[in-house]
């Protein structure tokens, strides 16, 4: 069995034989690397819509002045708001929205204090995150989502017959959401893509070389098969 060094030299010879495959992969990946190198940052904002139970005995409110009931109500509102875009799944994540690679989008979710395998909701709040390429877009989308949450929270209580003085109320935290600029890290992204490109180029060249050698070997076997059969016929006669 050839040593690891010998195997490595054989693989590299195969890559060198198929240099045109390496160049083809690099040519395909260069635009992606250049785009990553020139990537700009995004604008981002995050705010909590906090739900507060009604004061006093909450007469006339079937939801009661109970923290868990308020959490459940916030979760119901979150599902209704997310359902408007066909997504009823919680958007909880350990990373901020801009850190997931999204450049234009938003997330509406109940903050979870649980671990990876089990969610735990101990705050009666809905978190809204918005990321976009301009500050104005972030402010516009954030305002629209917060308005939908607050409107939905009131309308559902009206539909249940809750009297206004017993409403579960909402407020923003922070009161005035801040829109911040999050710079990108093009050097890291471009470097990662460059390493990926090199790996793909070497792997593709090695694969093409092995396939080519295998096909050539099969052709040689088929070419020599009739000659060998003829030789055996002459020996028998």
CA distances from 188 to 99, 180, 192, 219, 236 (A): 14, 21, 6, 47, 72
pLDDT at res. 132: 93
- pLDDT given at position 36: 62
CATH architecture of structural domain 42-182: 2-Layer Sandwich (3.30)
Please give the chain's pLDDT, 237 residues, in tens.
556 566 667 777 777 888 888 888 888 888 876 766 656 788 999 999 999 988 754 555 555 555 678 888 999 999 999 986 544 444 444 568 877 778 899 999 998 765 555 565 667 899 999 999 999 999 999 999 999 999 999 999 999 888 888 888 999 999 999 999 988 665 666 677 788 888 888 888 888 888 888 787 777 777 766 655 555 555 555
CA geometry: angle at 175 spanning 170 and 181, to 5°? 125
Q: Which ranges in the chain are annotated with CATH 3.30.70.360?
A: 42-182
Q: Facing residues of 128 across strands? A: 47, 108
User: In angstroms, rounded to a whole number, what is the distance separating the alpha carbons of residues 35 and 55?
Assistant: 55
Q: Tell me, what's the pLDDT at 177? A: 92
State the pTM of this model: 0.60
């Amino acid at each position: 069995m050839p040593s690891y060094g010998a195997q490595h030299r054989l693989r590299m010879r195969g890559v060198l034989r198929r240099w045109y495959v390496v160049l083809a992969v690099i040519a395909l990946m260069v635009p992606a690397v250049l785009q990553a190198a020139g990537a700009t940052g995004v604008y981002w904002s995050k705010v909590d819509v906090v739900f507060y139970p009604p004061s006093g005995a909450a007469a006339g409110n079937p939801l009661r002045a109970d923290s868990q009931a308020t959490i459940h109500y916030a979760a119901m509102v979150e599902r209704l708001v997310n359902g408007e875009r066909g997504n009823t799944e919680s958007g909880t994540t350990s990373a901020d929205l801009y850190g997931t690679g999204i450049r234009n989008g938003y997330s509406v979710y109940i903050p979870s204090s649980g671990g990876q395998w089990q969610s735990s909701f101990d705050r009666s709040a809905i978190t809204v995150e918005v990321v976009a390429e301009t500050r104005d877009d972030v402010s516009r989308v954030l305002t629209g989502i917060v308005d939908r949450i607050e409107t939905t929270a009131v309308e559902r209580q009206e539909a249940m017959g809750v009297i206004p003085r017993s409403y579960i109320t909402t407020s923003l935290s922070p009161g005035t959401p801040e829109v911040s600029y999050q710079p990108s890290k093009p050097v890291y992204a471009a470097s990662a893509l460059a390493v990926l490109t090199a790996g793909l180029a070497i792997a593709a060249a090695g694969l093409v070389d092995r396939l080519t050698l295998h096909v050539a070997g099969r052709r040689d076997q088929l070419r020599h098969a009739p000659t060998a059969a003829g030789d055996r016929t002459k020996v028998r006669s």
